[in-house]
A and B are shown apart, each in its own frame.
Chain A
Amino acid sequence: MKIKLTNAASLFKDKHLLNVMRAFILFFCTLTFGMSSEGVLSQDAKISIKEDKTISVDEVFDIIRSQTKYTFLYQSDLFKNFPKVEIKKGVISANKLLKQSLSAGKYNFKLSTDNTILIEEVSINKTLQQTIKGKVSDESGQPLPQVTVYVKGSKNGVTSDFDGNYSISASSGDILVFSYVGMITSEVEVSDQTSIDVTMKVDTESLEEVVIVGYGTQKRKDITGSVSRIDAAQVNKLAPVNFESALVGRAPGVQVVTASGAPGSPASIRIRGITSVFGNNEPLYVIDGLPIEIGQGQGNSFYSQNYSSTLSPLSSINPLDIESIDILKDASATAIYGSRGANGVVIVTTKKGSYSSVPNISLSAVTSISEFTNEYDMLDGNTFHEVIETAYLNRGSNLPSDDLLYPYGRDVNTDWQKETEQSAINTNYYLNANGGSLNGSSLYSLSAGITKQNGAIDYTEFKRNNLRVNLETKLSNKLRVGVNFNYSDSKNQGSNTTFFYQTIKYRPDIPIFAEDGTFAHDTGSVQANPYSKLRYPAFVENTNLSVSLFGEYEIFNGLLFKSTYNYTTSNNHSFRYTPSYDVFELRNNRKGTLNQNDSDFSSRIFDNTLTFTRSFDKHKINAVGGISYTQNKSNGESIRATDFPDDDVSVSPGAASSLSLTSTGTISGLSSYFARANYNYDDRFYMTFTGRADKSTKFGPENRWGYFPSGAIAWRLSREAFLEESSLVDDLKLRASYGKTGSANFSDFQYATFFSAGSFYNNNNGVISNTIPNPAIKWETTNQLDIAVDFSMLDRRLNGSFGYFDKKTSDQILYRDVILETGGTNQFANIGDFGNKGFEFQLGYDVIANEKFQWTTEVNFTTIKSEVLKLNGGYYSNLVEGESLGYFDGYAVEGIFQDQSEIDALNNASPTGVYQSGNTAPGDFKFKDRNNDGFVGSDDIDIIGNAEPDVFGGWNNIIRFGGFEISALFNFSVGNHLYNSNKKDLFIFNSYTSNYETGILDAWTPTNTNTDIPRLVQGDPNNNRRDSDFFIEDASFFRLKNLNITYNLKPQLLEKLFIERASIFLSASNVFTLTSYSGLDPEVNYNASNNFSQGYDSGAYPPVSTFSLGINLNL
């Protein structure tokens, strides 16, 4: 056989050439893209032909080679007997010319990276490889994308595309292996055919999803505890900036409320309610095996103090990096996290490499636009003055002087809302490459992301850059090692210092600029105007680096030792500067004030586990045991610097004339032993035992070690004879668990007397003792019972789960009074009892499932009742036995007094001579005398609402047809109340120093009596603004949280673009809301860091609606 090389052919002797060519072919197999002649050359390769002529194919190649960068490699006699080609004068694309020339035969083209094109004849008789094409589908005929297809014993492999099509080179006699998670791997021998279609069967043994539990994985069907798995693809349909905010409505028992509409705003998550008063009640997050406690596990006050000067560690994670999210809820699942498990555990797993020799490169770009879901209609300057005049008239008092009332004249009118808004455009770019070797010996995933989110308020912005690398490889058959690396830097500008309510309430009769060009301000106040305030530099910067290294050694078949070391460091820098021209600075004779906060956190974790798996006959055992050491440290410096030479270049602590500095630091250590054993008899009966022992620096000497055992049993009824043959029920499992978990979410070293600096005297920094030690301090204990049934019916089209839980927290930490001769007033003690009970319900149904159209619907909801069971002499805030933590108290409004006689009658009947206030007049609220003692006093304050919902949940729908996928996620909450604080400030007159909503024009007057807004009166003599049920509103809502329309482009189109898959999506969040709540938005939790002001709507930064357009490409 002879080989013809168009270049340098004569350098090689035939024998060598054959070897060279084989080597090339092998080379091409791994590095080339298979393609037809239509797309082999680039689109812009053009060939100009001088005159019409008829030439041989070999001559065509010479022409193309001379005019383009391409060279050709083929067997020299391949076109020997090939028909001649007629070419015409003019310009023709190289591709077209090639196609015309070769139209009489069937050839394979391969383009290598150096623009060499390999041409082979497609022939079944040759020992050379042939291209096998085909389609992979499941038993119902649905195409299966992402199926790995490879030639057994070789490194040659591909994956099927979106329509299940694949194309692979193989030789006759080779065996093609088709594998896919949850399907039985099938093998087909290649003979003469060029097309092999494969139908894959569901592997009922591996059913099925694998869920990730603490320190291991389990098959969904074998799970004995309560674990909800959330598909990252669903989460990412919301195009979220932080993944936790996108967990809304996804899983029963998991209540997610985003803090606000500020860019980068975190969400607060409560799994099965609140367990701790001083702890922050967020779940434990485990990111790729690395536990993260929100607020560093230092308790709620630490968390609150650092809330605005640091970014949540979760905000460093790019949601697109996430592969799956598993939420552990019951004690059986969480007890392995011991003293940190009481609030549930959220396990986040990032993308790993895949067993595909072809790199899977994905690229996504999303652009969004956000705006407030709702806005207030504020008074303009003239109406504002009219309202003030009426209010002073009604009080019978003189108007303030003109320079207070009209500081910039009567005709100024500024719409602060309009002046401080921006059209918030967000962009998000993400690139990921992952793959690995076919035999699974090496896997890699590399990703990079850039996120930029603008807020709806000007000068507020969140930016983040991410890099993530996950690598692992087998050093031998028994030893596997890997590294995970994650870096991110983020910057949040303005949103911690910019408050919407300050903006809207600013007087409308103040201009932005005064006549002299400086920023104008209300002369009677020390608040700068919102337009200037937004421009003050204020930001928080965060860098986060996490590196972990692991080694996994198989000691013998079934026994695996794994050791992981992780180091994480996170630095926060917050900078807030008030310039010298600020009113308050001027008033205080200061030339600028800088508040700067630097803090760093580091965590070292060393985990060692042994995992044992063994099955014999019908018995299966899976056990894991381990040791874990954790040490967390943090350090912080707060600097308050005043008086700077100028407001621009020299703003740094070093340039200030006066400085004060405080340092803080924490350190905590945790040594743990843990174990879990799963026993499975015949896939029919299951038992799980879990336990952990924690030794923590937070526990006093009397309680050095904490023990957290749990047990669970399950019975799969569907495996019993009476159900096995059932055509209705496919799977039915009863499960129950009971166990103990803990929460040690409070500051370290509460158990002994310690001394610290900071007691200054005459410029000496002295040292004094801290608070009263409690040697018995320990974790809070939560005992939880969980009973549930999981089922799958109607050919697995109907799936669901229904469960009951009862969580009781004892040893809850509260304040306990101490005798004052100790020099203190109280100390922490483990004395309270607290309970959470509820039901969780989840149901999914494939309503329509045929080849053309599919509709899947899934609904979940949860009811929780929480209760303070016993205080045992402890106290904190307004805790009351028998009530939940989230109640509001205040007076009850019975209506508005319509005439003076009614007030007189009540005053006369009162033992004090006054019913509620000496200055009550018609148009004021009438408060209820609850205890019937004849007057309204503090005894009449009672419970007026509860921030906890009766029921909350989500309803998700996915519809697929053609290339479209439409998903609609609804979420809802019923029975929760919000404290609408804006209603107090915007609808009830108090003074002339702030603006009001136009709704105040409906205030009571003798002629406008049918209203619920009290009269306009200066100074609010009746104290209509006192806490009352007028401000507590039912905030139940039903909302279209997200609507996502994705169109998957046709693969035929994409092939030409070298793109394997591509989709375009349109996503809208917070689309519409049904609610009776009168505030801007019912779904808020402004004070996420405070357990006692849940349900408080301050309007700090209202929620936004976001509309996104995105594209995802897979190369």
Chain B
Amino acid sequence: MNIKNYIYIALLGLSLSITTSCELADVTDVDPVYQVSEDKVITTLDQAQTVLHGTYGILIDGLNYTVYTPGLTALMGTTMEPGPWASSSMSAFYDNDVSPDNFYLESNYSKMYFLINNANHVIDKTSKLEGDETRKNEIIGEARFLRALSNFYLLRLWGEFYDESSSYGIVLKDAPISDATPQARATVSETYTSILSDLDFAIQHAPNFSNTFYVSNLAAKALKSKVLLYNKSYSEAAALALEVMNSNDRELEDTFAEVFIKKIENTNEAIFQTPFDDLNDRNNKAFMYRAYFLPSESYVATMENDARFTGAIAFSAGSPRNAKFNNSTYNGVPLTADTEYFLRLGEIYLIYAEAVLRGDDDIDKALDALNDIHVRDGNDALDIDNKVALLEAIRLEKVLELGAESGEEWFDLVRYYKEGDIDINTIKPLSSETRLILPIPIQSIRLSEDLIDQNPGY
């Protein structure tokens, strides 16, 4: 080989390396592994469905929706007390004295906004898709329900939900975030408007009821009747609750205990609840309700005279346990996983009873609805003919029926107190009126540089 050949080979090699280097040089033009960028995540309805499933998944991830929010709310009320493992930041809820830097306060608050942000991705990106309008609106409807549910939780815990004229609503996020820019709080009325508009869309577009794990237009009606009760639109609330009660999709279980034995299998009563299984959806709720959140002494005492006692309270080595969430089985495998009932028909009856009484002054209808629940396990029917006593009976019935479950009785205390029906301090003494709601986490106040107002008294 002579020198020319070498030069030829070298040039060939060089040109080859230059052409291949074009491919090699693109080393920084890559997409992350097992991750999808924002512009590609929802380009079809199937993808929208996948992100919607992910958004549902936030309901069961990290125990915020299934354990901490219901458990801590029940601590604030009367039906639960801190268990042996509970930390001081949990007991603070029991003492109704939660500081703005409380760990669980931050965790629940940010988790709900995390769900809202993902729901906003679904709503925003799905609405831009072409295709089957019905399916598209079903997906958006489900996402808007989930957003409404979270906003309602946020409002009840951190906003002055009992005062339509208050400026202490919540921060309303209606689009996906692209950075960490702070945003001011909406008023209470604006918050209700947003929640109700989401629920109206869901009532109109969400799928018909077929499964308790997914949002249905029935669930949207049920939640809306509850929101309207809080918003004091009593007649409307009663009308909507009645629609749910009269729907053929759901009916009361034969006994109270059956609700918590069936949990998620062949349930008649649940309207919207979280699933669990022995694999990926395996939470630890039953354990948490033994170690951190126990039925309170007063709640156990209250239940003792009721036919629902054995369905609500179990005993282990003489100590009371919450029988509603006390071990489960899945395909025959014993588990400590459990469900969270966001909405079940039993509660809708009691919403109806209160709403029809407050809105329409209809004592008979209210008493009938109340007795439907009260006598189910063999209690004698109640016979009350004055409104004030009946209202109180409904509140007590909610303790008996829904106690140590999701903390509903705490919000009842606040609402009844604000309506002037009861003195909350005789039932759950508070250091101050400002303790009716929780403080906005300090991190948001600090980083917003006071754009976000702290609740009074914190």
Partner of B27, one of A658, A665, A670, A748: A670
Give the residue name and chain of the B residue nearest to A827 (CB): B180
CA distance A631 to B25 in the complex (A): 9
Closest CB in chain B relative to A195 CB, distance in Å = 44
**Cβ of B279: which chain A residues have Cβ within 8 Å of it?**
658, 660, 763
Task: Determine if B443 and A825 form an interchain contact, defined as CB atoms under 8 angstroms apart.
Answer: yes
Q: Is B34 an interface residue (CB 8 A)?
A: yes
Q: Is B50 an interface residue (CB 8 A)?
A: yes
Given contact pairs A476-B6, A768-B55, A820-B441, a sample of 7 additional A-B residue pairs in the complex whose CB atoms are under 8 Å apart: A671-B28, A752-B38, A755-B38, A755-B54, A763-B280, A764-B50, A822-B113
Known interface pairs A629-B27, A768-B51, A769-B121; A818-B106 also in contact (CB < 8 Å): no
Known interface pairs A756-B34, A761-B53; A824-B27 also in contact (CB < 8 Å): no
24 A-B residue pairings within 8 Å (CB atoms): A476-B6, A478-B10, A563-B13, A629-B21, A663-B34, A669-B27, A669-B28, A755-B38, A755-B121, A760-B280, A761-B59, A766-B55, A768-B55, A768-B118, A773-B178, A817-B447, A818-B447, A819-B180, A819-B447, A819-B448, A820-B110, A821-B177, A821-B182, A823-B110
What per-residue 1/0 map shows which CB atoms of A647-671 lie under 8 Å from chain B? 0000000000010100111111111
Task: Determine if A755 and B24 form an interchain contact, defined as CB atoms under 8 angstroms apart.
Answer: no
The 8 closest A-B pairs by CB, nearest first: A766-B54, A665-B33, A759-B57, A823-B114, A766-B53, A669-B27, A760-B280, A768-B54
Closest CB in chain A relative to B191 CB, distance in Å = 13
Task: Determine if A635 and B443 form an interchain contact, defined as CB atoms under 8 angstroms apart.
Answer: no
Task: Determine if A823 and B116 form an interchain contact, defined as CB atoms under 8 angstroms apart.
Answer: yes
Give the residue name and chain of the A residue nearest to B112 (CB): A823
B contact set with A: CB distance below 8 Å: 1, 3, 6, 9-10, 13, 17, 21, 24-38, 41, 47, 50-61, 106, 109-111, 113-118, 121, 171, 173, 176-183, 213-214, 275, 277-281, 334, 441, 443-444, 446-448, 452
| Interface footprint category on A | 35 or more
Task: Determine if B33 and A635 form an interchain contact, defined as CB atoms under 8 angstroms apart.
Answer: yes
Closest CB in chain A relative to B372 CB, distance in Å = 30
**Cβ of A757: which chain B residues have Cβ within 8 Å of it?**
34, 54
Closest CB in chain B relative to A636 CB, distance in Å = 10
Partner of A479, one of B10, B21, B109, B110: B10
Task: Determine if A820 and B444 form an interchain contact, defined as CB atoms under 8 angstroms apart.
Answer: yes
Closest CB in chain A relative to B354 CB, distance in Å = 32
Task: Determine if B27 and A630 form an interchain contact, defined as CB atoms under 8 angstroms apart.
Answer: yes
**Cβ of A764: which chain B residues have Cβ within 8 Å of it?**
50, 53, 56-57
Task: Determine if B180 and A822 form an interchain contact, defined as CB atoms under 8 angstroms apart.
Answer: yes
Q: Is A475 an interface residue (CB 8 A)?
A: yes
Closest CB in chain B relative to A477 CB, distance in Å = 8
**Cβ of B26: which chain A residues have Cβ within 8 Å of it?**
669
A477-491 contacts to B, CB under 8 A, are 478-479
CA distance A825 to B113 in the complex (A): 11
Known interface pairs A754-B37, A754-B38, A767-B36; A821-B113 also in contact (CB < 8 Å): yes
Closest CB in chain A relative to B12 CB, distance in Å = 11
Task: Determine if B35 and A756 form an interchain contact, defined as CB atoms under 8 angstroms apart.
Answer: yes
Which one of B3, B56, B109, B179 has the highest number of Cβ atoms from chain A below 10 Å of its Cβ? Answer: B179
Task: Determine if A754 and B50 form an interchain contact, defined as CB atoms under 8 angstroms apart.
Answer: no
Closest CB in chain A relative to B323 CB, distance in Å = 23
**Cβ of A426: which chain B residues have Cβ within 8 Å of it?**
none
**Cβ of A392: which chain B residues have Cβ within 8 Å of it?**
none
Partner of A762, one of B25, B47, B106, B281: B281
**Cβ of A773: which chain B residues have Cβ within 8 Å of it?**
178-179
Task: Determine if B28 and A775 form an interchain contact, defined as CB atoms under 8 angstroms apart.
Answer: no
CA distance A753 to B31 in the complex (A): 12
CA distance A666 to B32 in the complex (A): 6
Task: Determine if B444 and A768 form an interchain contact, defined as CB atoms under 8 angstroms apart.
Answer: no
CA distance A820 to B177 in the complex (A): 12
Closest CB in chain B relative to A692 CB, distance in Å = 15
Task: Determine if A761 and B56 form an interchain contact, defined as CB atoms under 8 angstroms apart.
Answer: yes
Known interface pairs A664-B34, A754-B38; A767-B28 also in contact (CB < 8 Å): no
Task: Determine if B54 and A767 form an interchain contact, defined as CB atoms under 8 angstroms apart.
Answer: yes
**Cβ of A175: which chain B residues have Cβ within 8 Å of it?**
none
A contact set with B: CB distance below 8 Å: 475-476, 478-479, 551, 553, 563, 589, 604, 606, 608, 627, 629-631, 633-635, 658, 660, 663-671, 695-697, 748-749, 752-757, 759-770, 772-773, 775, 817-825, 827
CA distance A671 to B181 in the complex (A): 33
**Cβ of A629: which chain B residues have Cβ within 8 Å of it?**
21, 24-25, 27
Task: Determine if A478 and B6 form an interchain contact, defined as CB atoms under 8 angstroms apart.
Answer: yes
Closest CB in chain A relative to B51 CB, distance in Å = 5
CA distance A769 to B41 in the complex (A): 10
**Cβ of A761: which chain B residues have Cβ within 8 Å of it?**
53-54, 56-57, 59-60, 213, 275, 281
CA distance A1028 to B183 in the complex (A): 44
Task: Determine if B28 and A696 form an interchain contact, defined as CB atoms under 8 angstroms apart.
Answer: yes
**Cβ of B1: which chain A residues have Cβ within 8 Å of it?**
476
Known interface pairs A821-B182, A823-B116; A633-B33 also in contact (CB < 8 Å): yes
Closest CB in chain B relative to A1049 CB, distance in Å = 48
CA distance A3 to B116 in the complex (A): 102
Task: Determine if A819 and B118 form an interchain contact, defined as CB atoms under 8 angstroms apart.
Answer: no
Closest CB in chain A relative to B153 CB, distance in Å = 14
Partner of A671, one of B27, B33, B56, B178: B27
Task: Determine if B30 and A697 form an interchain contact, defined as CB atoms under 8 angstroms apart.
Answer: yes
Task: Determine if A476 and B180 form an interchain contact, defined as CB atoms under 8 angstroms apart.
Answer: no
Partner of A760, one of B34, B47, B55, B281: B281
Closest CB in chain A relative to B338 CB, distance in Å = 15
Task: Determine if A748 and B54 form an interchain contact, defined as CB atoms under 8 angstroms apart.
Answer: no
CA distance A934 to B151 in the complex (A): 47
Closest CB in chain B relative to A290 CB, distance in Å = 15
**Cβ of B29: which chain A residues have Cβ within 8 Å of it?**
669
Give the residue name and chain of the A residue nearest to B52 (CB): A766
Known interface pairs A756-B34, A762-B213; A551-B113 also in contact (CB < 8 Å): no
Task: Determine if A822 and B280 form an interchain contact, defined as CB atoms under 8 angstroms apart.
Answer: no
**Cβ of A775: which chain B residues have Cβ within 8 Å of it?**
179
Give the residue name and chain of the B residue nearest to A668 (CB): B30
Closest CB in chain B relative to A661 CB, distance in Å = 10
Task: Determine if B57 and A820 form an interchain contact, defined as CB atoms under 8 angstroms apart.
Answer: no
Task: Determine if B57 and A766 form an interchain contact, defined as CB atoms under 8 angstroms apart.
Answer: yes
**Cβ of A817: which chain B residues have Cβ within 8 Å of it?**
443, 446-447
**Cβ of A669: which chain B residues have Cβ within 8 Å of it?**
26-30
Known interface pairs A667-B33, A754-B37, A819-B443; A606-B24 also in contact (CB < 8 Å): yes
Task: Determine if B32 and A824 form an interchain contact, defined as CB atoms under 8 angstroms apart.
Answer: no
Closest CB in chain A relative to B251 CB, distance in Å = 23
Partner of A823, one of B57, B113, B334, B452: B113
CA distance A42 to B111 in the complex (A): 84
Known interface pairs A476-B6, A479-B6; A759-B171 also in contact (CB < 8 Å): no
CA distance A759 to B50 in the complex (A): 10
CA distance A768 to B47 in the complex (A): 11
**Cβ of A762: which chain B residues have Cβ within 8 Å of it?**
56, 213-214, 275, 277, 281
**Cβ of A667: which chain B residues have Cβ within 8 Å of it?**
30-33
Known interface pairs A755-B35, A821-B171; A551-B13 also in contact (CB < 8 Å): yes
Closest CB in chain B relative to A1090 CB, distance in Å = 23
Closest CB in chain B relative to A814 CB, distance in Å = 15
Partner of B109, one of A768, A770, A820: A820
CA distance A759 to B179 in the complex (A): 22
Partner of B114, one of A553, A754, A760, A824: A824
**Cβ of A827: which chain B residues have Cβ within 8 Å of it?**
180
**Cβ of B59: which chain A residues have Cβ within 8 Å of it?**
761
**Cβ of B109: which chain A residues have Cβ within 8 Å of it?**
820
Task: Determine if A563 and B17 form an interchain contact, defined as CB atoms under 8 angstroms apart.
Answer: yes
CA distance A627 to B25 in the complex (A): 9
**Cβ of B32: which chain A residues have Cβ within 8 Å of it?**
666-667, 748-749, 754
Closest CB in chain B relative to A330 CB, distance in Å = 28
**Cβ of A671: which chain B residues have Cβ within 8 Å of it?**
25, 27-28
CA distance A880 to B31 in the complex (A): 37
CA distance A611 to B109 in the complex (A): 60
Closest CB in chain A relative to B321 CB, distance in Å = 21
